[in-house]
Structure 1
Amino acid sequence: MPVSTSEQRRRAPRFNPKLFAVAVVASLVLGALLGWLAKATDAQWLITALDTVGSTFTKLLTFTVLPLIFTAIVVGINSLRSVGGGRAAARLGGKTALWFAITSLIAVVIGLAVGSLLQPGHGLVIEPDPDKLAAIGKKTHGSWLDLLKGLVPENLVSSFADGETLQVVFVALLIGAASYSLGDKAAPFVEFNRSVFEVIQRVLGWIIRLAPIGTLGLVGNAVATYGNEFFVPLLKLIGGTYLACALVLFAVYPLLLRFAAKVSPVRFFAKAWTVLQFAFVSRSSSASLPMSRQTAENLGVQPSYASFAVPLASTTKMDGCAAIYPAIGSIFIANLFNIHLGPAQYLTIVAVAVFGSIATAGVTGWFTMLTLTVGALGFPPAAVATGIAIAYAVDPIMDMMRTATNVAGQIVVPVVVARSEGILDDEVLAERSAPPLLAEERELANA
């Protein structure tokens, strides 16, 4: 007897984010204890087991990096075609994109400043193996001419086969622009890349579910190898992320609201606090989207514009995940592998933060943006995967603050743009703060 779709969903095992976060933290603690035990007793078999578990998890992440970057850029560039229609819409869309870029620029500069001050990862150098370390060294030295020469691959296959991330980014931008210019002729190609991206995302989702096991191996091996000093870089990574996000959330946004939108920051937080709390706990901008849209309307944003700007912002406006964290995360990974970052590399981080989220509209997230950033810096996939895998041990803790910052920015920008266009309703704004009820709930309450 065939089973209905609803029955299949009921029987399917459900993924509980809160339980998963607890499992990752528990694995962090257990891995540290096993690592300390292995180091104290010099149990080589345990060190080998932890290293095998951790390195296998890293390899699983590594093979998804390049196809994820390529398909995300191609699909993202072509998804920009959906934004348009009419001069007013174009003007609103242009202003919205401009403010996305401005606030992303401010956020990434703050991230770089905090990362440069705290230097997460400093003093702890991860050495994968001599060949990979030599490859890292080759990618961090040389002139601008060498960089330009290294941008163009001899062929498409070699850029993937050799793990030349920067070449993959260049090719993806070129192919993405070409497919965009061809329009409907390239539609099958774009849809193919969209399908591949979804497949990679699904595979990555399965791999991420192994994070508790991978965390146990990575942290355990790190503690067994480097001792207690391993935790200081992780604490700096967490502290730096929270500090930078707090500066954007409680300093930058209030200043923009006060001077660019003529809106009281106190009133903003009074009306937005519920959705910010939900975003902090749920760690999901997408799950917060209905409440974010209604909060923007409660702040006086015209409903038709809020219905356009907030969903767009939920995929392309992530100051916490797409600007602050890639900046601090890049510094963290660079310090882990003893990679020197100069002015040119810092400018690259800024450029990726400002333009990367727009280029990957609809597919942005901390993983994609961090891989794009370190890929543009020329970090090899092995360093990228290892650094991300280590940071993932404490990612649930950081993701709460990043998501709250994302959601706040996704509401602030529509408020600022609405004020500049004269479509911010001051009467609605002046109303007493209320929970961000959905439109359907409000109609039911008023009935």
Structure 2
Amino acid sequence: MTSTATTAKVSRFPKWASNFGVQIIAGLIAGLVLGLIARSLGGDPKTDPNGLVTTLGLIGSSYVSLLKAAVVPLIFTAVVSSIANLRQVTNAARLAWNTLLWFAITSLIAVSIGIVLGLVFQPGAGTGTAAPKDYTGKSGDWWAFLIGLFPSNFLGLGASTKAVDGGALVTSVNFNVLQILVIAIAIGIAALKVGKAADPFLKLNGSALAVIQKVLWWIIRLAPIGTVGLIGSAVATYGWTTIGSLGKFTLAIYVGLALVLFVVYPVLIKSHGLSIKQYFSGVWPAVQLGFVSRSSIGTLPLTQRVTERNLGVPRAYASFAVPLGATTKMDGCAAIYPAIAAIFVAQFFGIQLDLGQYLLIVLVSVLGSAATAGTTGAVVMLTLTLSTLGLPLAGVGLLLAVDPILDMGRTAVNVAGQALVPTIVSKRHGILNEELYNAPRNGNPFSDDSTELLGEVSDEKGANHDAGEPDSQRELANA
């Protein structure tokens, strides 16, 4: 007869210290302190940085580079998988069309709010700063933007060569996220049309997506360290004077984000006969992670999980709508932010915008949100908007100081919207599991009765809801 004894695992740290949110807050505080120390050590942070400024900048830029490295494979595999999952959905074409329609409707509302707030707050007015000497005043070519959607090669890659100190030529390779999205959509649709012959490809793509999500989860776990570098570098480089001068702009952004999250979304939820309280309690775990991680793509596994388990969206449809939303549905980064930022830059340099330019802001925001790529920051989207309007690109540098602060709120709104649209569309099509949507949660990340209520609804094969779920999803849920 044998006996076994189990020994509880003893942690060296209190439970609260291992909480991801607490780690991010600690990173923010540490970054602020180190940034102030670095600034006090002297030296010009831009032309002659001291060792601490250089170190903080290296940590922050390295973390962002890690996130960007996962963008191309993650967008491609996620979009192909999301479109392929339409095979499991009844009336797939209508659901897909309605999803894209509601993406556009909510983005249009958000960008309209951004424009109104930019005109009301006047965040960049009264600076007396003249436009740069190279500013021509000509609007960008909107048709060039549309033509740029068509890929010039399979991977949507481009290369540029520039001279550096000493006359040496350096070639850098970059990618066009919009073109990658077009390629992924085309391949996903082709896989649907091919049918069973595409099964091996889709299985390989699904496996690749699971592996990439795992790697991305490792990167996200480094977010507290990355936050130290990003915040510390911003404080050391720009200081409190510059950051303070952007306070009005920051306030306008967060007022816009609050209006969308706590007014527009509840109105849409209520107008469809659903409980506002249940929506927020259901989506909140993903919103929290989006706020601290500043990455819609990084939050994707948890967003999809809460959309299915808390909001009652069928898994087959959620696996299409949520990944697609994580790459193209950006009410914070691609609607509110570029609208207010473009108006700020115009006001800062004393440039008057006409009605046509305001319409261009709307069009770029609704159609070009995929340019944000779902990673931290919305610099690409801002650059795209300023270029299309013909505004000075020097304005991008003005906003980098407060971008980490803004990006937290932007991403939280992005994530909330990525769960909202599938919920609304499911309700409108009569496929929402309202018993699961209204199930009690009692402060838990997921509904108390979610396992029982999900039953065999998870997919047409009758597999258990958590079967085959990547470990990263379970880890994110516990973060």
Q: TM-score, normalised by structure 2?
A: 0.61
Q: Note if 1:376 corresponds to 2:388.
A: yes
Name stretches of at least 5 consecutive residues in structure 2 with no aligned partner.
1-22, 55-70, 160-171, 178-225, 452-464, 475-479
**Alignment check: 8 A CA contact 1:100 1:413 kept:** yes
Listed as ranges, the matches of 1:1-400 within 5 Å are: 21-22=28-29, 25-26=32-33, 49=44, 52=47, 83=83, 88-127=91-130, 133-136=132-135, 138-139=136-137, 166-167=140-141, 170-171=143-144, 173-177=146-150, 186-187=153-154, 190=156, 196-197=174-175, 212-213=232-233, 216-219=236-239, 223=241, 230=242, 233-259=245-271, 261-297=272-308, 298-357=310-369, 366-381=378-393, 383-387=394-398, 391-400=399-408
Name the aligned partner's letter for residue 339 of structure 2.
A
How many residue pairs are counted as aligned between the two chains? 347
Q: 1:175 to 1:325 in 2, by over 3 A?
A: closer
**Alignment check: 8 A CA contact 1:31 1:219 kept:** no
Q: 1:232 to 1:178 in 2, by over 3 A?
A: closer
Shift of 1:358: 5.0
**Alignment check: 8 A CA contact 1:53 1:214 kept:** no
**Alignment check: 8 A CA contact 1:283 1:400 kept:** yes
Q: 1:280 to 1:341 in 2, by over 3 A?
A: same
Cα distance in 1 for residues equivalent to 2:233 and 2:261: 34
Shift of 1:373: 0.8
**Alignment check: 8 A CA contact 1:104 1:323 kept:** yes
Q: 1:108 to 1:412 in 2, by over 3 A?
A: same
**Residue 435 (structure 1) aligns with:** 445
Name the aligned partner's letter for residue 177 of structure 1.
F
Q: 1:405 to 1:139 in 2, by over 3 A?
A: same
Shift of 1:53: 5.7
Q: TM-score, normalised by structure 1?
A: 0.65
SS in 2 for 1:423: coil
Name the aligned partner's letter for residue 324 of structure 1.
I
Shift of 1:22: 4.9
SS in 2 for 1:376: helix
Name stretches of at least 5 consecutive residues in structure 1 with no aligned partner.
1-15, 35-45, 58-71, 141-146, 148-165, 180-185, 200-205, 224-229
Cα distance in 1 for residues equivalent to 2:411 and 2:123: 21
Q: 1:337 to 1:170 in 2, by over 3 A?
A: same
Cα distance in 2 for residues equivalent to 1:399 and 1:23: 18
Q: 1:30 to 1:348 in 2, by over 3 A?
A: farther
Shift of 1:374: 0.9
Name the aligned partner's letter for residue 338 of structure 2.
P
Name the aligned partner's letter for residue 410 of structure 2.
R
Shift of 1:419: 1.1
Which structure carries more helix by proportion? 1
Q: 1:249 to 1:356 in 2, by over 3 A?
A: same
Cα distance in 1 for residues equivalent to 2:26 and 2:146: 38
Name the aligned partner's letter for residue 466 of structure 2.
E
Shift of 1:342: 2.3
**Which fold has the larger relative contact order, with Cα–Cα distance below 8 Å and residues 6 or more apart in sequence?**
1
Name the aligned partner's letter for residue 287 of structure 2.
L
Name the aligned partner's letter for residue 123 of structure 1.
G
TM-superposition CA deviations, 1:102-148 (whole Å, max 9, x none)? 00000011111112111112222445xxxx72332x316xxxxxx5x
Q: 1:318 to 1:417 in 2, by over 3 A?
A: same
Let me know the Cα RMSD of the aligned residues: 4.3
Q: 1:264 to 1:53 in 2, by over 3 A?
A: farther
Name the aligned partner's letter for residue 425 of structure 1.
N
TM-superposition CA deviations, 1:195-251 (whole Å, max 9, x none)? 62289xxxxxx9x9688556534448xx5xxxxxx5554111111111100000000
Cα distance in 1 for residues equivalent to 2:147 and 2:435: 48
Q: 1:392 to 1:20 in 2, by over 3 A?
A: farther
**Residue 423 (structure 2) aligns with:** 415
Cα distance in 2 for residues equivalent to 1:424 and 1:119: 42
SS in 1 for 2:350: coil
Identity of aligned residues (%): 40
TM-superposition CA deviations, 1:40-61 (whole Å, max 9, x none)? xxxxxx8x9456469xx9xxxx
SS in 1 for 2:351: coil
Q: 1:360 to 1:283 in 2, by over 3 A?
A: closer
